[in-house]
Chains A and B, each alone.
Chain A
Amino acid sequence: AQSVSQHNHHVILSEAASLELGCNYSYGGTVNLFWYVQYPGQHLQLLLKYFSGDPLVKGIKGFEAEFIKSKFSFNLRKPSVQWSDTAEYFCAVNARDTGRRALTFGSGTRLQVQP
């Protein structure tokens, strides 16, 4: 079964700092990859997704992620964070050829941006 690891559980940054959140998955076949964000008290919202093509994916609010197949990774990046980026971030994977039509989520990374 596929699994997702997010090794950074809690990240604290100052405004304007650069962000990189790690995501690794454990499936050797073809995958679809997602990053979701959950602002305090809200539901999860899609930041970006990768299905195929250019491994560098751009999402909303200046976020991007790079799929590196050889490293089974899909790290999330943002060049300059804002206080409003304070939220919890979840990586998710769907293993396309298993027939399991559901997403598996990582445990999440809580990002705190200090003004």
Chain B
Amino acid sequence: NAGVTQTPKFRVLKTGQSMTLLCAQDMNHEYMYWYRQDPGMGLRLIHYSVGEGTTAKGEVPDGYNVSRLKKQNFLLGLESAAPSQTSVYFCASSAHVPGQRFPNSLHFGNGTRLTVT
């Protein structure tokens, strides 16, 4: 049982390049999230998904796109990377609380450290 798996673990990009971060979960969770972590700013929500084929914007969505074509996968894309996107990116997933429309506790992946030069 792998939980939440993120690939790649590290990546260096040049300004203007594009890339896709992959998140996969094997817990059959409905909800999936992409957060970025920056020193002194905690975790900020980029985009999230409450089910296959659905996505929603978080607090800092600009410059990112996401897709959830399969329930177990949540992709985060950077179309034209900028130095401001240098960060550690965490994917997380959650089951919904039975009978409720809010998430239970989040399960996190190990993170992707992205540097944009």
Contact = CB atoms under 8 A, between A and B. Distances in A.
A90 B44 CA distance: 12
Contacts, number: 60
Contact of A108 (B42, B56, B58, B105): B42
A43 interface: yes
A104 B90 contact: no
19 contacts: A6-B42, A34-B105, A34-B106, A43-B111, A46-B106, A90-B42, A94-B102, A96-B102, A101-B31, A102-B45, A102-B56, A102-B58, A102-B103, A103-B33, A103-B45, A103-B106, A104-B59, A105-B43, A108-B42
B2 interface: no
A105 B96 contact: no
Nearest to A51: B97
Contacts of B109: 43
Interface of A: 4, 6, 9, 32, 34, 36, 42-46, 49, 51, 90, 94, 96, 99, 101-108
Contacts of A96: 100, 102
A74 to B, nearest CB: 14
B20 interface: no
Interface string B15-36: 0000000000000000101010
A101 B102 contact: yes
B74 interface: no
B50 interface: yes
Contacts of B50: 101
A45 B4 CA distance: 12
Given A9-B40, A43-B90, A43-B108, A99 B101 contact: yes
Given A42-B110, A43-B108, A94-B102, 17 more contacts: A4-B42, A32-B102, A34-B105, A43-B110, A44-B90, A45-B108, A46-B105, A49-B105, A101-B31, A101-B103, A103-B45, A103-B103, A104-B59, A105-B43, A106-B42, A108-B40, A108-B42
Nearest to A3: B59
